Amino acid sequence: MYIPFSELPPQARLWVYQASRPFTEAEQTEIKPLMERFATDWSSHGKGLQASAELLHNRFLVLANNEEATAASGCSIDKSVSFVKELEQKFGVSFFDRTQLAFLKDEQVQLVSMQELKSKVAAGEIDQNSLYFDTLINNYGELQNAWPKPAGSSWLSRYF
């Protein structure tokens, strides 16, 4: 069962997928109904999930489920991964490259490779206050209250 993203409870579980590039306006128009259809049909052991999906900052695909209503099973999570892989194929984008970190700078999402991170920190281009899109967040409340969040408040804190 689809529920609007803005109506998710704070404890709703999230899966955040970062695209390797921003989506164009035409692609966003095309992808949004696909995401809503997936969320509408998403189920666990034959029981519909209270699910939603959203594309944030033209780059982050966020799938959500109200776990208090019905928990996502391993099979339903596999279905969501298959859906994301289908989107990769359709739009020629990667959602599974974990070597790219996303920061918000001058109102734009900027990617920094893991290889570049230490040098950017040393040069002062990234510091503990740099806003980081942590794709490891796991609930809607975190997304609403602290996303992006200062890099020093994330797993990146060890670099400062």
User: Does residue 139 share a domain with residue 68?
Assistant: no
Burial class of 125 by CB neighbour count within 10 A (0 to 12, 13 to 18, 19+): middle
End position of a domain, from candidates 91, 112, 141: 91
Structural domain including 148 reads: 100-159
- The number of folded domains in the chain is 2
Tally of CB atoms within 10 A around 38: 20
Q: Model-level pTM?
A: 0.92
Tally of CB atoms within 10 A around 102: 19
Could you tell me what percent of the chain has a pLDDT over 70? 100
pLDDT at position 38:
95
pLDDT confidence of 129, banded at 50, 70, 90?
A: very high
User: Does residue 69 share a domain with residue 11?
Assistant: yes
| CA 125/CA 1 separation, integer angstroms | 44
User: Does residue 10 share a domain with residue 87?
Assistant: yes
pLDDT at position 33:
96
End position of a domain, from candidates 65, 91, 117: 91
User: Does residue 111 share a domain with residue 79?
Assistant: no
